[in-house]
Structure 1
Amino acid sequence: MGTEVLSLRIDGALLDRLRSHAARRGMSVQDYVVHAMVRDDFDQRFQAAVESTERLYEAS
């Protein structure tokens, strides 16, 4: 799996908050943002799986 580049333009206050959150975890801002995106993607996929399972059991 290769990597790609994503460039973002964000508000200075948001960048400051991201830096603060990342520093508390000993991470770079880039690593913190990627970690948050991966976590959000997992949460969405997990929620979709839960909803699918609930529909399956409701149909029974």
Structure 2
Amino acid sequence: MDSTVLSLRIEGELFERLRAHAAKRGMSVQDYVVRTLIREDFDERFQTAVDETEKFYGASDTPGDQVRPSAGIA
């Protein structure tokens, strides 16, 4: 996998907030930002997959019509 450098200019207050969030997790600011971007990308791709599945099977307008697997939980 190739890697590319991305340089950002951000306000000092935002950087300090990011630094604080990263420190709580024992991470560098760079790792925290990359992890956040990866998570956001996953969420977006997952939502797209859900939307496509609903289009394929036809989304129900009423929640009671949906069949949900119980995984053996009554």
* TM-score category (smaller protein): over 0.9
Gaps of 5+ in 2: 60-74
Corresponding position: 1:4 with 2:10: no
The equivalent residue for 2:17 is 17
* Greater radius of gyration (CA): 2
* Alpha-carbon separation, structure 1, partners of 2:28 and 2:34: 10
Q: How does 1:1-60 map to 2 (within 5 A)?
A: 1-58=1-58
Shift of 1:4: 0.6
Q: CA RMSD in A?
A: 1.1
Shift of 1:2: 1.4
Shift of 1:30: 0.2
- Where does structure 1 differ by over 3 angstroms across 4 or more consecutive aligned residues? none
* Alpha-carbon separation, structure 2, partners of 1:18 and 1:58: 41
Higher helix share: 1
**Percent identity among equivalent residues?**
64
Q: Taking structure 2 as the reference length, what is the TM-score of the superposition?
A: 0.77
Q: Residue 43 of structure 2 aligns to a residue in which SS? A: helix
Higher relative contact order, structure no. (Cα contacts within 8 Å, ≥ 6 residues apart): 1
Gaps of 5+ in 1: none
The equivalent residue for 2:62 is none
